[in-house]
Structure 1
Amino acid sequence: MSTPQPPMPQAAPAWQAAPGSAYPTYTSPIPVVRTHLGHAISSEWTKIRSVRSTMWTLGVFLLLVVGIGLLVALLVAAKSGDADLSGENPLSFGVFGLLLGSICLITLGVLTTASEYGTGMIRTTMVACPSRGRVLAAKAVVFFAVAFTVSLLSVGLVAFADAALLDGARQPSGMEWLKGTFGISLYLALLGLLSLAVGSVIRHSAGAITIMIGLVLAPLVIALFMFSESLDRVRTALFEYSIPNQLSVFYSNSLTRSGPSGWDPLWIMAGVTAVVFAGAWLLLERRDV
């Protein structure tokens, strides 16, 4: 009879308790990487460039800003023989398309945050990145970069085209070029960022878009129907701080002789956006998803 062989020793499983430890340990074969804001930004960039709403809103924005800006310049150039354009800033004719185009950036800003609550995708987002503040910051960075880039390209194209088409108008100064391209692009991007924060607070796309469109158009419309002299100060304030008037200020035009001037509209919008964004941040940290 053959002698039975003793069993061969086997390696301890990965989950077996280590010597001197009462709890089992496990070492994952997948390398663990500490996440940071860059990962969240990469994720939000993938989202914003892969959804159809981004292409539609930005496409309509380009169509309105460039199309209306060039159309107005062509109409003015055709009538230049009947009017003196020597005192006109040719860049100012681009404001007509910007007012309508701003609604597109408002819509995209709201959808960047509020649409995820409508579809329930926000739960997946928060599971993938439990740091809620990081998610909101990543959305803000990606949206602001996209909105500013598209605005600057479209506004710059219209500005150079208007300056070339309107030969009778005066040549803008360096500061007018800076305000009429870089400055107003920053203003539009901040307006869209404000919409993003409102969308995060309201958590409803239609409601947030309605609020933002009302913020853009309501003050000017209300002021137009204030005929009583007792409401003169209120009417003047609504004219001065309405968003259409602040857009005109970047082109050295204004509906009133007082109110914001120079770079004031940009600082006003930056302050309002910062306050609303801080509120959105606090609410996101405290409320349930």
Structure 2
Amino acid sequence: MANTGRVVRSEWTKIRSVRSTLWTLAAAVVVTVGLGMLICLLVRNTFDDLSVRDQVAFDPTMTSFAGMTLGQLAAIAFGILVISNEYSTGMIRASLGAVPQRGVLMAAKVAVATVLVLIVGMIIAVASYFAGQAILGSSLSSSIGDPGVLRAVVGAGLYMTLIAVFAMGVTWILRSPMLAFGILIPFFFMISSILSAVAATRKISYWLPDQAGSMIMSVVEPVNDRPYGPWGGMAVMGAWVVAVLLAGYLVLKRRDA
């Protein structure tokens, strides 16, 4: 137990000593909250121009989290950098020499990074919600006490966290920042969106991690045939995260550093 504690402290030292990883989290806060505020302002100024159907389906809570679309890029970058920095610098050899129990090393790194991004993710979720609702104004905004709103706020923080952990697992599999960025960015920002926009592949997109997980941020139930609700979607996303972490562990265990 004492050895595990030392490994955890070592991983915390590694993460906070690399400025690029911390800057990505700072960027996530600024981009997500700022973009959400901007979109809320645009919605407030153009709401009367929307069709009656769109006004009825308007979700003020989800609108506050509109910045998550771009903010998750910073979360992905954080997840990739946390893992790839050791491979890029060759420090992974020293880390494995100091901690030959690879499961302990991986668990400590994931635990420290997850706690850090969870704290930042919750700050982003709370700030995005309250800033967005303030801009929308009393006539359009929701209240934190309204049904489903608190769940959406907490879920937004969890979503940001799981996106980062998913990126960690993928990077452990690939062991290359270029490959990880080259796969994850197109996957989340192109492939996922295209599959969800095409009728023939829309049902497939329901089972992708971002499409499933983002349901947690919705309060006004969308009109679709998804076989799960908000927490069910989060469970689907969690299953993806567990799968890539397991695959990452197998790669770490079986391949030389």
- Tell me if both proteins adopt one fold, taking TM over 0.5 as the criterion: yes
Tell me by how many angstroms 1:96 deviates.
Answer: 2.2
Maintained 8 Å contact 1:159/1:181: yes
Structure with larger RCO (C-alpha < 8 A, sep 6+): 2
Please point out which of 51, 60, 66 is paired with 1:96.
Answer: 66
1:168 is matched with: 139
Which amino acid is 1:241 matched to? W
For 1:39-50, what aligned pairs fall within 5 Å after superposition?
39-50=6-17
Please point out which of 249, 260, 263 is paired with 2:231.
Answer: 263
1:193 is matched with: 165
For 1:51-66, what aligned pairs fall within 5 Å after superposition?
51-66=18-33
SS at match of 1:76: helix
2:41 counterpart of 1:74: yes
Structure 2, unaligned runs of 5 or more: none
Question: CA–CA distance in 1 between the matches of 2:158 and 2:255?
Answer: 31
Question: CA–CA distance in 1 between the matches of 2:222 and 2:202?
Answer: 9
Maintained 8 Å contact 1:198/1:280: yes
2:246 is matched with: 278
Tell me by how many angstroms 1:183 deviates.
Answer: 1.1
1:112 is matched with: 82
Question: CA–CA distance in 2 between the matches of 1:186 and 1:88?
Answer: 23
My pick for the range that moved more, 191-200 or 279-288, is 279-288
SS at match of 1:257: coil
Question: CA–CA distance in 1 between the matches of 2:220 and 2:211?
Answer: 11
Give the total of aligned pairs.
249
TM-score normalised over the length of structure 1:
0.77
Tell me by how many angstroms 1:270 deviates.
Answer: 0.9
Aligned-residue Cα RMSD (Å) equals 2.4
Maintained 8 Å contact 1:245/1:254: no
Question: CA–CA distance in 2 between the matches of 1:165 and 1:239?
Answer: 32
Tell me by how many angstroms 1:135 deviates.
Answer: 0.9
Structure 1's 221 and 255: CA in aligned 2 closer, same or farther, altered over 3 A? Answer: farther
1:236 is matched with: 202
2:113 counterpart of 1:143: yes
For 1:212-251, what aligned pairs fall within 5 Å after superposition?
212-217=184-189, 218-224=191-197, 226=198, 232=199, 234-242=200-208, 243-244=210-211, 246-251=213-218
Report Cα offsets for 1:152-185 as digits up to 9, x if no partner. 1011011012222321125345442223211121
Maintained 8 Å contact 2:213/2:236: no
Question: CA–CA distance in 1 between the matches of 2:78 and 2:99?
Answer: 22
% identical aligned pairs: 28
Question: CA–CA distance in 2 between the matches of 1:87 and 1:211?
Answer: 34
SS at match of 2:66: helix
Structure 1 or 2, whichever has the larger Rg, is 1
Question: CA–CA distance in 2 between the matches of 1:97 and 1:269?
Answer: 19
Maintained 8 Å contact 1:240/1:256: no
Question: CA–CA distance in 1 between the matches of 2:122 and 2:225?
Answer: 28
Question: CA–CA distance in 2 between the matches of 1:245 and 1:287?
Answer: 32
Tell me by how many angstroms 1:256 deviates.
Answer: 5.6
Report Cα offsets for 1:19-73 as digits up to 9, x if no partner. xxxxxxxxxxxxxxx7422211111111111112123211221121011011112
2:4 counterpart of 1:37: yes
